[in-house]
Structure 1
Amino acid sequence: MSEYTSTELLTTVASSLIEDESTIIVGTGMPMLAAMLAQRTHAPDATMIYEAGGIGPEAPELPISVGDERTFHRGVKAAGMHDVMSYMSAGFVDVGFLGAAQIDRYGNLNSTVIGDWERPTVRFPGSGGANDIGSLAHETIVTMHQDETSFVEELDFLTTPGYLDGPGARKDAGLPAKTGPTHVITQYGVYGFDDNCELTLEFLHPGVEEATVNEESGFRIHVGTYDRSPEPTAEQLRLLREEIDPRGIIR
């Protein structure tokens, strides 16, 4: 099982960021794969929270969406979206997984429109619970495709706050202390945030050249000391392919 897809690599990398006994709000798609893999490997006591209301389930295989009945399987509670957002505002959510169409150097996200608001080139579904998650979860992990059109100097629309315009800006905006994005995972690597709240390379994926990081970005990303992302293990690949997503819906 030494060969793996880009999605399988990103899933195992994202999964490694989930700590045991933490509470994770899980979105549709790859975040589900990562959360379920963590639950079946190093984080059996992590509590998964699905936006539609499934709390602490043990899904038998990959749900189609956050409202799939499998997100309630053997769960500790069948709640609703209002309850989930209440838990977030009360500070009960450790980590939220988000995706986006655009991101800037401070981790601010756009999942609303590309182009002018009144006459956009592309209109996306919008925030959903993304603003709540990015504003209130203790940590936010972003998974997205990286190129010059997605890593941009200025967002077309601010859907979800990262660090806004730098250090202290979240506090000035009235957001809770010690919250904000911690990692951004793309097909090239894993980024963290430096003391200036700007993206910095932490892990470069196997086979990716260092120069690609900034060649595929519309703003300059700091590249200092970094590690290589670990490749998926045979057991991780077996779980993904045989138990979690045997039909290959996401992976």
Structure 2
Amino acid sequence: MSDFTPNEMMTIAAARALSNDDVCFVGIGAPSAACNVARLTHAPDITLIYESGTIGTAPTVLPLSIGDGELCETALTTVAVPEMFRYWLQGGRITIGFLGAAQLDPFGNINTTVIGDYAHPKTRLPGGGGAPEIASSSGEVFITMAQSKRGMVKDIDFYTSFGHGRGGNHRQELGITTKGPTLLITDLAVWRPNPETKEFEVNSIHPGATREEIARTCDWDVKYAASVDETPPPTAEELGTLRELKARTDAAHAGTASKRGSKDG
């Protein structure tokens, strides 16, 4: 089990950043995979919260959306969405907000709304959902995404979720008291914001990745921390847990599709 893909390395590196005591507001997709790998390995007592109001969720397969019945069925409890946002999120009870991005700039500002001009966009994206509130009210924010020049851009087309704005103390100047983005995990590297400028810089490079590849897949000028490590490769337990989770998910969703197809026929 020594071979692994860049996406597997990204998910596992993200999972490692979570602790047993975290209360994590989970995004669908890569964030959900990372959070559940953490729960199934080193952080069994982590509290996972999804936007639909499920608290203490422990899904056996990854959800297709926040409305997936798997989330409610495996949660300790489910509360109304207004209570989820007002009491849990805006009440300061979430330690980590875990988000993905369609576009991301060097200061952790996220766009999931439109590509191009807002009035006449090239692509209209799904939108922010609860991400703007997650970005401002969670204790800190982790971001995960695969690297590409289309995704990691110097200037995003629309501010959906506020990160560090223009950098420096911009976030605090606007009266936002939470830390904002403190970690970016891509399929090539682990990035953290510079303590002063708040611009993301590479802290560790994943096994097999290179500085040239990182630069080639990022539209901004890549900066590096004073000391850059190699990300430890996945352990057999981490990789096995992730692959088993994905296999269960694929089997469950394939079964659902098959049943729907037979009904339609």
Deviations 1:127-161 (A, max 9, x none): 10110011111111111122222221211111111
TM-score relative to the length of structure 1: 0.93
How far apart in 2 are the matches of 1:166 and 1:239? Answer: 37
Partner of 1:162: 163
How far apart in 2 are the matches of 1:245 and 1:97? Answer: 23
Q: Which moved more, 1:204-213 or 1:108-117?
A: 204-213
How far apart in 1 are the matches of 2:187 and 2:245? Answer: 24
Q: Is the 8 A contact 2:6 2:188 kept in 1?
A: no
TM-score relative to the length of structure 2: 0.88
Give the letter aligned to residue 6 of structure 1.
Answer: P
Give the letter aligned to residue 239 of structure 2.
Answer: L
User: Per-residue deviation at 1:61?
Assistant: 2.4
How far apart in 2 are the matches of 1:214 and 1:240? Answer: 28
How many residue pairs are counted as aligned between the two chains?
249
Q: Is the 8 A contact 1:104 1:154 kept in 2?
A: yes
Q: Is the 8 A contact 2:7 2:146 kept in 1?
A: no
Partner of 2:236: 234
Give the letter aligned to residue 142 of structure 2.
Answer: I
Richer in helix (by share): 2
- 1:68 and 2:86 equivalent? no
Q: Is the 8 A contact 2:106 2:199 kept in 1?
A: yes
User: Unaligned stretches of 5+ in structure 1?
Assistant: none
Give the letter aligned to residue 232 of structure 1.
Answer: P
Partner of 1:220: 221
Map 1:74-113 to 2 at 5 A.
74-86=74-86, 87-113=88-114
Q: Tell me which structure has the larger Cα radius of gyration.
A: 2
How far apart in 1 are the matches of 2:57 and 2:103? Answer: 31
Partner of 1:48: 48
How far apart in 2 are the matches of 1:6 and 1:67? Answer: 29
User: Per-residue deviation at 1:211?
Assistant: 2.4
Partner of 1:22: 22
Q: Is the 8 A contact 1:60 1:244 kept in 2?
A: no
User: Per-residue deviation at 1:178?
Assistant: 3.6
Q: Is the 8 A contact 1:136 1:179 kept in 2?
A: no
Q: Is the 8 A contact 2:30 2:100 kept in 1?
A: no
Give the letter aligned to residue 32 of structure 1.
Answer: S
User: Per-residue deviation at 1:105?
Assistant: 1.4
- 1:202 and 2:203 equivalent? yes
